[in-house]
Amino acid sequence: KQEVTQIPAALSVPEGENLVLNCSFTDSAIYNLQWFRQDPGKGLTSLLLIQSSQREQTSGRLNASLDKSSGRSTLYIAASQPGDSATYLCAASGTYKYIFGTGTRLKVLA
């Protein structure tokens, strides 16, 4: 049974810092690994999707990596800004469904 864990559960950093969010999964037989952003009370915004054959994806200040053999993915955020404050969720896609972690709550202080 796939389990997805995100560490840390919460993170507070000063503006401008580079930071790394971690996601681990127990079953390496995944199709994709996807990172989402969720603002309070809102739905999910897709940030990056990494296919199982890929090692990383980049979009602007965001870079996500995937290591299936170790069951890990990281989301790197460069030069963090107060507007980056949100909850970040990772999801591993199985046979037909996404398994989500519980998220990392990020606060970037001005």
Partner 1 sequence: ETGVTQSPTHLIKTRGQQVTLRCSSQSGHNTVSWYQQALGQGPQFIFQYYREEENGRGNFPPRFSGLQFPNYSSELNVNALELDDSALYLCASSLGGQGEYEQYFGPGTRLTVT
Residues that bind partner 1 (CB under 8 A): 4, 30-32, 34, 36, 41-44, 46, 49, 51, 89, 91, 93-103
* Residue corresponding to tokens 């990392």: 104
Judged by beta carbon, residue 26 or residue 31, the one nearer partner 1 is 31
To partner 1, the closest distance from the beta carbon of 24 in angstroms equals 14
Select 9 or 20, whichever has its Cβ closest to partner 1.
Answer: 9
Angstrom distance (rounded) from CA 53 to CA 72: 14
CB burial of 73-103 (b: ≥16 within 10 Å; e: otherwise) equals bbbebeebeeebbbbbbbbbbbeeebbbbeb
Q: How far is the CB of 100 from partner 1 (least distance, A)?
A: 3
